[in-house]
Amino acid sequence: MLSSASSFRNYRGILNWCVVMLILSNARLFLENLLRYGVLVDPIQVVSLFLKDPYSWPAGCLVIGSNVFILLALYTERKLALGTFTEQIGLIIHIINLSVILCFPVVTVLMLPSVTPVGSAFALAVYTILFLKLYSYKDVNRWCRERMQAKARSLSRSLSCPAPPSTSGTVYVSYPGNLSLKDLYYFAFAPTLCYELNFPRSKSIRMGFLLRRLFEMLLLIQLLVGLTQQWMVPVIQSSMKPLQEMDFSRMIERLLRLAVPNHFLWLIFFYWFFHSSMNFVAELLRFGDREFYRDWWNAESVTYFWQNWNIPVHKWCLRHFYKPLLRKGASKLVSQSAVFFASAFFHEYLVSVPLRMFRLWAFTGMMAQ
């Protein structure tokens, strides 16, 4: 039955057996952790980090300061729509604005020792998302101007995704009617990186769905903090000595011990962010496009994984980076390499700056793929 010549293909029982062994082995690890270290979970310790100096939240001030860049982008687009700025001047202003968005938080984090790694990571993530959003905002509005200059009759969505004429009485926004604070701030908070003049919208907010996602968010964030305190921190602390002594066998053993909790935390964070949090925001804003991830767990290649685990970033890369490079004559290999290079840069950006350690580990790990 187990020979290659057999036509038998049902191995479901073996898969169930592997799942049972996985549960038992991880239960043993968890029990061993409790017996060795005791209960280390302390929610008050996390809260005290934020209340230690309630009048000095540099990371929060950084996030609030990001509004300046949003307003500058809107001001520039309005001037371009009126013809006050030429395309060249508008492009220069956008380049400066986007460059400062990436550099300003880095300088602030490195200059202010009071910024914690968690706070700086959050602020840098916000600025990275803002960079991608404003880049898309700039591109779509430029496409609209190009279409107007080509004497197109009307435009209800972006050039890359034209909308059919409305038969339901819904009023669609057209350029330059989209250049408003309300429109831009809706995009800033919407769970997408690709700008559209008219996003798909749901009819109403489902309170039951919203409350379930909120409950998941609160529960999972507590679980993430608890597992980090109970499982990750003790192993990291016990790894310092092997690292200092360059004991490679002990280093590998500690690395393998970290692999299991790290994997669990990654999976929980994925569900918390891409399912619970993004669906919560989408429901609150009545945002219709809920495709935040696909079946990355069935990936048979690295390419399939990166194309399906983070759909908002994948769509942005495809729309604003990969396809424009192809249109300019670059080969598929060069375009894919450029996308991976940009992804590696942002991974390094989000890891090295908060930790104040510039070792290019994240960059090398991404480029190696």
The letter for the amino acid at 319 is: R
Q: Is the confidence at residue 152, as pLDDT, over 80?
A: no
Q: State residue 154's pLDDT score.
A: 46
Predicted confidence band at 127 (pLDDT cuts at 50, 70, 90)? very high
Q: Does residue 61 contact residue 123 with C-beta atoms inside 8 Å?
A: no
Mean pLDDT, to the nearest integer, of 210-222?
94
pLDDT band at 161 (very low <50, low <70, confident <90, very high): very low
Compute CA distances 325 → 144, 227, 321, 322, 336, whole Å: 20, 43, 6, 5, 9
Nearest to 159 by CA among 180, 173, 176, 139: 139
Chain segment 45-71, per-residue pLDDT in tens: 777 666 666 556 888 889 999 999 999
Assess whether pLDDT exceeds 90 at residue 183: yes
Helix (H, G, I), strand (E, B) or coil at 287: strand
Report the pLDDT value the prediction gives residue 13, as an integer from 0 to 100.
85
Q: Does the pLDDT at position 247 exceed 80?
A: no
pLDDT digits (tens, 9 = 90+) for 325-358: 999 988 899 998 899 889 889 989 998 888 888 7
Give the tokens for residue 100.
Answer: 């400062």
Look at 74-78, 143-147, 151-155, 251-255 and tell me which has the smallest mean pLDDT. Answer: 151-155
Q: Can you tell me the mean pLDDT for 199-228?
A: 92
What CA–CA distance (Å, rounded) separates 187 from 47?
31
136 contact partners, CB below 8 Å, separation of at least 6 = 193, 194, 195, 316, 319, 320
Highest mean pLDDT of the ranges 28-42, 70-84, 102-116, 344-358: 70-84
- 165 vs 32 pLDDT, higher one: 32
Q: Three-class SS of residue 29?
A: helix
Over residues 212-229, the mean pLDDT reads: 91
- Banded model confidence at residue 158, pLDDT cuts 50, 70, 90: very low
d(CA 152, CA 75): 25
> How much is the mean pLDDT over the chain?
85
What's the pLDDT at 2? 61
**pLDDT value for 360:** 78
Of 51-55, 161-165, 193-197, the poorest mean pLDDT is in 161-165
Residues contacting residue 239 through CB under 8 Å, at least 6 positions apart:
251, 254, 258
Say if residue 160's pLDDT is above 50.
no
CA 97 to CA 101: how far, in whole Å?
A: 6
**Would the pLDDT of 36 be above 90?**
no
Q: What is the pTM of this model?
A: 0.85
Quote the CA–CA distance of 341 and 335 in Å, as a whole number.
10
Identify whether 242 is preceded by a cis peptide bond (ω within 30 of 0).
Answer: no
- Rounded-to-10 torsion of CA 157, 162, 166, 170: -20
Lowest mean pLDDT, pick from 118-127, 168-177, 348-357: 168-177
Is 320 a residue of the active site?
Answer: no
Tell me which of 54 and 159 has the higher pLDDT: 54
pLDDT of residue 5: 66
- pLDDT at res. 170: 64
132 vs 169, more confident: 132
- DSSP codes of every residue in 155-172: -SS-TTSPPPPPSS-PPP
Catalytic residue among 94, 275, 320, 347: 347
